[in-house]
Structure 1
Amino acid sequence: MLSVIFIITVILTKELVMATEQCSKYQFKSPFYPGESCEDIYNKNPESHEWSGYYWITNGPSRVYCGMTYTGSSCLNIYNGTQWTFCNMTEVAAGFISTCAGVGGGWRRISNIDISTGGGCPSGWRKDTYSGVSFCRVVSDGSHTCSSTTFSTNSISYQRVCGRARGYQKGGAVAFTLYSIGGQTIDGYYVDGLSITHGNPRQHIWTFANGQFDNSHLYNCPCAPGSVYPSPPFVGTNYYCESGTNNTYSTSAYYFNDPLWDRSGCITSNCCDNPTQPWFYRELSGTTTDDIEARICREHGFATGSVLIDQLELYIL
């Protein structure tokens, strides 16, 4: 009996040593959300928990066995402050593509809106539902307006922003035409779409624009055929633009079959050519602790046309 116990103890000890060695190199090598504590991640992990403080985590088709020594700390704190363990945010996992994660470890998530899974809209945006599909929209039903929400960075210094958004077209849209013919600035409704900025005065990070059609039209995305209206100088090439319909639209129609900015459905345009889509990556000119603002903007009244947002995910580093 003692020999059996001894053998089991040796096996468990060997497994534990191997696990510790793995952790020293690959701790938290999984699709983690960097704004959450390790304890939260541990508690939500669907894999089985074995031994106090140790657990399996999923990394694609394989599994890595690692420890929970630093419970309660954010992944950023672990990445910056520990000697033998780190948050590996350089993996391509959970859709967090290498364009973002390949820059380095320690990304912190500040926004994770997903209305499609039953979530709510942040303060400043209005939640609505049509034909069973829920989304966030501009609060007002009027035209020439934006609705703003702000995501806190908790005064953390950062220089890089990475994220993605998904939306839908309702009725008509005019991309950046509002800037060209209306004299709009970064503070106004310069786009039919979603504007991502930081600071006061506002500084541009990224814009998600909604054009009229995928096929040729005057009010298309700059990347689509027929468009005569470029992006504003403060936007430059730091935007994604797409349409939800090919060559016609109805003001009452909701184009749920072709989501915006997902790198799919750009029939005749070049608007889906960026291989990093739906993710964007932007390195700012310097470090900042500014909160990040997101504004849904539109030209038309809601009855005529609008941009509807159901996903927005933002990370800072």
Structure 2
Amino acid sequence: MMLVVYYITTMILTKELVIATDQCSVYRFKSPFYPGESCEDIYNNNPESHERSGYYWITYGPSKVFCGMTYTGSSCLNIYNGNPETVDKSGYYRINGTQWTYCNMTEIAIIVGDFIPTCAGVGGGWIRIAHINISAGDDCPSGWRKDTNSGVSFCRVVSDSSAGCSSAYFSTNGTSYQRVCGRARGYQKGQTLAFHPYYVHGQTTIDGFYADGLLITYGNPRHHIWTYAVGYYDDLTYTSNCPCAVGGGQAPPPFVGTNYYCESGTINTSSTSDYYFNDPLWDGFDCYRSTDCCANPTLPWFYRELNESTTSDIEARLCYRTGFFQGSPLIDQLGLYIQ
């Protein structure tokens, strides 16, 4: 009888010890032991965390975040190349010892989270300079205007009445880079004209509103990186359609070349008052008969290797030929990475 009691008691105590050990392992590097609103906050207020890189629960945050407490370097790529164990550990790292930056360290050649083979194919070590998701509650960057229609929120141009562009700038913090990778998702509002403004409205330089869409450049004078254009509609022949549409519109300007995506959010009608939320732009889906507009397997991501290294900030312009109430591109997601 005593042997049975001893066995049962031993098993209970052993089980409780295992549970306690597991809990200790799970919570070792997370709040409340290391509370903070960011990796930087935890690092600054908890000296003992300096030797403990790992996943932390950020106060009020949605999920765990990797904090590279023990790593520093001149860039994300420098940290990545010098520390092979950081592969696939995307998170926040210290650049030059003090500047906390989100580094994407993914190199797996499949879709992983918010990264793709086009970027990951040249290795990890990417600095994220823009991460906007309006549908998740983010604010629009300075220079764009946040608006809502039919329960859908988005970024739009600032002016209601005049043609032109609204610019948002994304800082590189002086980091030298030659590769740019990114993605965008948006919607069509009203009658958008793809590259029609370049041919008909005198917008013949990179500084003009040569397309209805999102125009991404760097430097002064501007150098083209990528254009996300919005066509009139995906069906029927029309000069303001995307070049890839069945009734193809005008080709992009020479300074754009093949470095663009173009799509319309409607099939064969386009009203100035309508918002086409049912067909998000540049996502590779719902191009109807204009299948070439959805043919690129890397949509909505782009990748560019520039002709030069630069430290210039990146400019993203929302451009439109007419007043907002007649037609305009809308943006709800934007991500930009440099290396």
Name the residue aligned to 1:274: 296
Higher mean alpha-carbon deviation, 195-204 vs 85-94, is at: 85-94
2:110 is the counterpart of 1:90:
no
TM-score between the two structures when normalised by the length of structure 2: 0.73
Give distance in 1, aligned partners of 2:201 and 2:224: 19
Is the partner of 2:131 in helix, strand or coil?
strand
2:165 is the counterpart of 1:165:
no
Amino acid corresponding to residue 317 of structure 2 in structure 1: R
Native 8 Å contact 1:39 1:72 kept in 2: no
Give distance in 2, aligned partners of 1:83 and 1:102: 16
For the structure 1 residues 272 and 83, does the alpha-carbon distance in structure 2 shift closer, same or farther, using more than 3 Å as the test?
A: closer
Give distance in 2, aligned partners of 1:67 and 1:220: 46
Give distance in 1, aligned partners of 2:68 and 2:171: 28
Give distance in 2, aligned partners of 1:42 and 1:100: 30
2:122 is the counterpart of 1:100:
no
2:224 is the counterpart of 1:204:
yes
Give distance in 2, aligned partners of 1:154 and 1:55: 25
Name the residue aligned to 2:93: none
Native 8 Å contact 1:70 1:78 kept in 2: no
Which of 285, 300, 304 is equivalent to 2:322? 300
Name the residue aligned to 1:316: 338
CA deviation after TM superposition for structure 1 residue 89, in Å:
2.2
Give distance in 2, aligned partners of 1:112 and 1:67: 18
Name the residue aligned to 1:142: 161
CA deviation after TM superposition for structure 1 residue 84, in Å:
6.0
Amino acid corresponding to residue 89 of structure 1 in structure 2: T
Native 8 Å contact 1:173 1:306 kept in 2: yes
For the structure 1 residues 140 and 81, does the alpha-carbon distance in structure 2 shift closer, same or farther, using more than 3 Å as the test?
A: same
CA deviation after TM superposition for structure 1 residue 90, in Å:
0.6
Name the residue aligned to 2:133: 114
For the structure 1 residues 154 and 273, does the alpha-carbon distance in structure 2 shift closer, same or farther, using more than 3 Å as the test?
A: same
Corresponding pairs, count: 272
Name the residue aligned to 2:146: 127
Which of 262, 269, 277 is equivalent to 1:256? 277
CA deviation after TM superposition for structure 1 residue 309, in Å:
0.7
Which of 174, 181, 197 is equivalent to 2:200? 181
2:72 is the counterpart of 1:53:
no
Higher mean alpha-carbon deviation, 287-296 vs 224-233, is at: 224-233
Name the residue aligned to 2:257: 236
Amino acid corresponding to residue 70 of structure 1 in structure 2: T
Give distance in 2, aligned partners of 1:228 and 1:214: 10
CA deviation after TM superposition for structure 1 residue 253, in Å:
0.7
Give distance in 1, aligned partners of 2:330 and 2:55: 39
Unaligned runs of 5+ in 2: 1-9, 26-37, 44-50, 57-65, 90-104
For the structure 1 residues 69 and 119, does the alpha-carbon distance in structure 2 shift closer, same or farther, using more than 3 Å as the test?
A: closer
Give distance in 2, aligned partners of 1:178 and 1:197: 18
Higher mean alpha-carbon deviation, 67-76 vs 91-100, is at: 67-76
Amino acid corresponding to residue 232 of structure 1 in structure 2: P
CA deviation after TM superposition for structure 1 residue 72, in Å:
7.3
